[in-house]
Amino acid sequence: MATYSARQLYYDGKTQRATSNKTFESIDPATGAHIADIHEASRADIDKAIQSAERAFPSWAATPAIQRARILQKAAQLLRARNDEIAAAETHDTGKAFSETSVVDVATGADVVEYFANLVGGGGLNGETTQLREDAWVYTKKAPLGVCVGIGAWNYPIQIALWKSAPCLAAGNTMVYKPSEFTSLHGETLAKIYTEAGLPAGVFNVVHGAGDVGAYLTAHPSVAKVSFTGQVSTGKRVAGAAAGHMKYVTMELGGKSPLLILRDADLENAVDGVMMANFYSTGQVCTNGTRVFVPRDMKAAFEKRLVEKMQFVRAGPVMDPATNFGPLVSRVHHQKVTDYIRHGIEQDKAKLLYGGPGQPANLPRELQTGFWVQPTIFTDCTDSMKIVREEIFGPVLSILAYDTVEEAVQRANTSELGLAAGVFTSNLNLAHRIIDQLQAGITWVNSWGESPAEMSVGGWKQSGVGVENGRRGIEAWVRNKSTLVDMSNVVATAFAKL
Ligand code: NDP
């Protein structure tokens, strides 16, 4: 059984002892076993971490972009060199299969570090010049914000930490980062990698704790920006607290995303897309396409192929390369997802096509104490069912039959959430028309889930504010200064002599 050393805090460029005298546990979701103690930050510790970031800010902001880029490039190299070791820790912390974490979590995080390093090193933070008149022009400058806070969710711990810290640091800010209390192992590891890459002390700092630590960070007067990933309800509290000091915010929140299959879609590709959109990371992906709209006269064929392919969802020992379906992250989340599945059967009266409450069949005995659920498919669902309206954040798929494409688009848009959406069809003109009408910030055509560094992602409606990644992602970490230069004398027409 894997165990890890106790995790402390990290500021002033080194590991620091927490003064709260409180610890909480990191649990392996596959077995329910304790794997590490995490030391919780006291308010005095958080203040010290913020002061460390404040002290580091002026010289880091003044460091030439190309030098900042060089350090981040080195960090990306170190992350890649230690991929398997970090991925294994992520697997034991989150329960996600190593076959996933070893190819996605660290790698896509390192890609983002490299992307923003290259962007700022290549002049991506330059402002604009606008000629107004022959002797007058405006120029703009992009300035870093100051001390920023990153607060992460538990589903992609190190990837979220990297998606926040990479553009933040590349733009010349400093950061205090708080991982989710359920998945804290990666924070200190990442801080040490940044230090090894040459990041000056205080530029990236880590504190551990639960929601109260996040709330204290969010409300702290020395903090200029909060970048948050988590649930909509928490996001509203965080944005409300940040508004107190008019802080900048980025909100990456939940979704209940529609996936539309058109009659002319390639059935194999559509079924594969639906499986990716519902069972990858055991359904714990914010962009999951859990509302699957299928033409009524195609439903039987679609369901038949989907159920046939469910044999390829393989629960088992999480480090086994053949396993592609792990447990849910925690006991409390397991209870929540199981309650939704029961609600779907008992209250919503949806038709259970596959799975249901309970553990996957043939789970080895040593895993039966873990937080496992079966991948579950409901069909004959209606828009008003609770399992169709609310984010479950587990492997629970709802099939909704439709008669016309217009109707499917209209129903897809009824959600208050607008994180992701997508369409499977061989009619590309229609695909673009539909994508244009779908109310979501992240969309796919004949694909699902890929989120490369180059692609700006962020939710519409209650799914978020702002974007991460891509060229637009850097804008969330700078403020603009516009300067008007006039080489002629001030023409004070209002006060001119009559
Ligand atoms: P939560 O909202 O429960 O928690 C997110 C983070 O906020 C955790 O670190 C949590 O601490 C912290 N927190 C809790 N209360 C407060 C507070 N009052 N002030 C500041 N911070 C606080 O989300 P989950 O961890 O359950 O993550 C799952 C959610 O994240 C899903 O809804 C999912 O859709 C969303 N998500 C969105 C993504 C996107 O890009 N749009 C990507 C990934 C996930 P702690 O947990 O330690 O108590």
Radius of gyration for the alpha carbons in the chain, expressed in angstroms and rounded: 24
Find the catalytic residue in 188, 252, 391, 468. 252
Stretch 153-166: mean pLDDT: 98
Write the pLDDT tens digit of every residue in 209-231. Answer: 999 999 999 999 999 999 999 99
Once rounded to an integer, what is the mean pLDDT over residues 446-450? Answer: 97
Q: What tens digit of pLDDT does each residue of 72-116 get?
A: 999 999 999 999 999 999 999 999 999 999 999 999 999 999 999
As a whole number, mean pLDDT of residues 286-302 equals 98
- Ligand 1 neighbour 473 (Cβ under 6 A): no
Intra-chain end-to-end CA distance of the chain, in Å:
89
**Residue 277 has what pLDDT?**
98
For residue range 24-77, list pLDDT tens digits in order. 999 999 999 999 999 999 999 999 999 999 999 999 999 999 999 999 999 999
Tell me: pLDDT of 491 over 70: no
258-445 architecture in CATH? Answer: 3-Layer(aba) Sandwich (3.40)
- pTM, rounded to two decimals: 0.97
Asked if pLDDT for residue 263 goes beyond 80, the answer is yes
pLDDT value at residue 232: 98
- State the Cα angle at 312 between 29 and 91, rounded to 5°: 25
Work out the average pLDDT over 269-292. Answer: 98
| Ligand 1 atom 35, closest CA | 230
Q: Please state the domain extents for the chain.
A: 9-253, 258-445
On the question of pLDDT at 493 being above 90, the answer is no
Binding site membership of 288 for ligand 1 (Cβ less than 6 Å): no
What pLDDT is attached to residue 494? 74
- Secondary structure (DSSP) of 28-63: ETTTTEEEEEEEPPPHHHHHHHHHHHHHHHHHHHHS
Pocket test for ligand 1, best of 26, 93, 163, 180 (most atoms within 8 A of CB): 180
Nearest atom within ligand 1 for CA of residue 152: 9
Residues 376-385: tens digit of each pLDDT: 999 999 999 9
The protein residue with its alpha carbon nearest to ligand 1, atom 23, reads: 230
Q: Is 252 noted as a catalytic residue in this protein?
A: yes
Q: What is the pLDDT of residue 1?
A: 76
The C-alpha angle 187, 79, 320, rounded to 5 degrees, equals: 85
Looking at the CA of residue 230, tell me the nearest atom of ligand 1: 30
Res 202: pLDDT:
98
User: Is the Cβ atom of 155 under 6 angstroms away from ligand 1?
Assistant: yes
- The finding on whether 219 has its CB within 6 A of some atom of ligand 1 is no
Average pLDDT, the chain: 97
Nearest atom in ligand 1 to 391's CA: 32
How many angstroms separate the alpha carbon of residue 234 from the centre of ligand 1?
Answer: 7
> Atom 12, ligand 1: which residue's CA is nearest?
211
**Fold (topology level) of 9-253:** Aldehyde Dehydrogenase; Chain A, domain 1 (3.40.605)
Cβ of 127 below 6 Å from ligand 1: no
Query: Residue 183: CB within 6 Å of ligand 1?
Result: no
> Which pLDDT band holds residue 266 (cuts at 50, 70, 90)?
very high
User: Are β-strands 291-295 and 258-261 bridged in parallel, bridged antiparallel, or unpaired?
Assistant: parallel
Residue 492 pLDDT > 80, yes or no?
no
pLDDT at residue number 495: 74
Whether residue 467 has its Cβ less than 6 Å from ligand 1: no
Residue 392, pLDDT above cutoff 80: yes
